[in-house]
Amino acid sequence: MNRASTKLPRAGEKRLAKDPSEMPVEAGLVFIGHLETPWETPQDCPRNGRASDAICHVHVKEPFREGLASVETCSHLYLLYWMHHARRDLIVQAPSFADSPHGSFALRSPIRPNPVALSVVELLAMRPDGFDVRGLDCVNGTPLVDIKPYFAGTDSIPHARVGWREG
């Protein structure tokens, strides 16, 4: 679905010549479920998952539920999901919180050629059709792409930095 805007809202932003949603598909993607959250529009969502204490439900489609074996042993998980309401046509963006424009790949914005989002969530409880978590930032019904365990020892990089964000 083409969600491209007809105008550029901020100075310095650049649009791709063609919206990626209109380009030929190069890989198949199967959604393994969906996310149930309290937010109905992108504007309702928190800026990041850690900004909310809302309990959300991860629904996993029946054919994929066997893949949840041992997930209950994890305290935290990575969820990858498809921001299906996001624009896909901007390659340079001018965020309202930044002093200058930045490339989409230097931002966490859902506006990107492939609107894949990533959140670290806290696993709260298992359910017959999935599990409950805290730490999401997406609209109700967002398609779920994948689930991975979060390994604090290898996934955390305390000295990592984003130079433009540091001033």
Single out the residue of 37, 134, 159 nearest to residue 76, CA to CA. 134
For residue 20, tell me if it sits in a domain: no
What span, in angstroms and rounded, lies between the C-alpha atoms of 24 and 2?
A: 13
Q: Are 108 and 95 in contact (CB under 8 A)?
A: no
For residue 44, tell me if it sits in a domain: yes
Q: What is the residue range of 43's domain?
A: 31-84+111-152
Domain total for the chain?
1
Q: Are 144 and 121 in contact (CB under 8 A)?
A: no
Average pLDDT over residues 19-24: 88
User: CATH number for the domain including 121?
Assistant: 2.40.30.70
For residue 106, tell me if it sits in a domain: no
What span, in angstroms and rounded, lies between the C-alpha atoms of 107 and 100?
A: 12
For residue 3, tell me if it sits in a domain: no
Identify the band that residue 14 occupies on the pLDDT scale cut at 50, 70 and 90: confident
For residue 122, tell me if it sits in a domain: yes
Predicted TM-score of the model (pTM): 0.88
Q: What percent of the chain has pLDDT over 70?
A: 94
For residue 43, tell me if it sits in a domain: yes
Q: Are 121 and 77 in contact (CB under 8 A)?
A: yes
For residue 7, tell me if it sits in a domain: no
- Cβ neighbour number for residue 135 with a 10 Å cutoff: 23
Residue 2 pLDDT greater than 80, yes or no: no
